[in-house]
C-alpha cells in the first residue's frame, strides 16, 4: 500500500514538474483558453475569418462574418498578448491584446489595444465575444467603435 502511494506521489510530482497539470487548474481549462485565444488571434492577423469564426460565440457569428470583408483591406503586422484575467467563476476571462497594423489604403502603422472577452461553454470550449468592428475602426485611424 505504501509503495503504491509513493508511486502515485512520484507520478503527480513528475506531471507537475513537466507542466502537464497545474494545482490551480487541474483540468487544464486555462491552457485550453490560451490555445484557443492564440489560434483565433493568429487567424484574425492573417485575415482568415472563415476559420476564426469557429471561436466566436454563436450569437455573434453573423455580425462577425459581415465585418470580416474589411479584414482584407488591413494588414496586421504583429500582435502581443497581455495578461489574462479570469473572473471568479473561472468561466469568463478577459485578454488584453495589442495589434500593430495598418489600412492598406493609408499605409500608416498603428498600435491598438483591445480586450477580448472569452467564455467557457462547457468542458474546455472557449468562445470569444468578438470586437472585430473596433479593431477595424482603429486600424483605419478611426476612434474605437461604441
> 20 lies in a domain?
no
Task: Quote the pLDDT of residue 22.
Answer: 45
Is 2 a member of any domain? no
Task: Give the mean pLDDT of the chain.
Answer: 82
Instruction: Say if 90 falls within a structural domain.
Output: yes
Q: Is pLDDT above 70 for 66?
A: yes
User: How many folded domains does the chain comprise?
Assistant: 1
Q: Is there a domain that residue 19 lies in?
A: no
Q: Is 23 domain-assigned?
A: no
Any domain includes 10? no
Q: Does residue 3 belong to any structural domain of this protein?
A: no
Q: Give the domain extent around 94.
A: 28-139
pLDDT band at 26 (very low <50, low <70, confident <90, very high): very low
Decide if 131 is inside a domain. yes
pLDDT more than 70, % of the chain: 79
First to last CA, the chain: 63
The three cell numbers of residue 49 are 475569418
Q: Could you tell me the pTM of the whole model?
A: 0.72
Summarised one tens digit per residue, pLDDT across range 87-112 is 888 889 999 999 999 999 888 999 99
Amino acid at each position: 500500500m505504501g509503495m503504491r502511494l509513493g508511486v502515485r506521489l512520484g507520478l503527480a510530482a513528475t506531471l507537475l514538474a513537466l507542466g502537464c497539470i497545474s494545482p490551480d487548474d487541474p483540468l487544464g481549462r486555462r491552457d485550453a483558453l490560451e490555445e484557443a485565444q492564440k489560434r483565433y488571434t493568429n487567424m484574425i492577423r492573417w485575415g482568415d475569418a472563415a476559420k476564426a469564426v469557429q471561436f466566436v460565440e454563436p450569437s455573434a457569428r453573423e455580425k462577425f462574418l459581415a465585418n470580416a470583408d474589411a479584414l482584407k483591406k488591413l494588414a496586421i503586422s504583429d500582435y502581443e498578448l497581455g495578461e489574462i484575467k479570469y473572473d471568479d467563476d473561472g468561466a469568463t476571462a478577459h485578454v488584453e491584446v495589442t495589434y500593430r497594423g495598418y489600412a492598406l489604403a493609408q499605409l500608416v502603422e498603428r498600435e491598438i489595444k483591445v480586450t477580448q472577452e472569452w467564455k467557457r461553454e462547457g468542458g474546455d470550449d472557449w468562445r470569444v465575444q468578438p470586437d472585430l468592428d473596433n479593431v477595424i475602426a482603429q486600424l483605419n485611424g478611426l476612434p474605437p467603435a461604441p
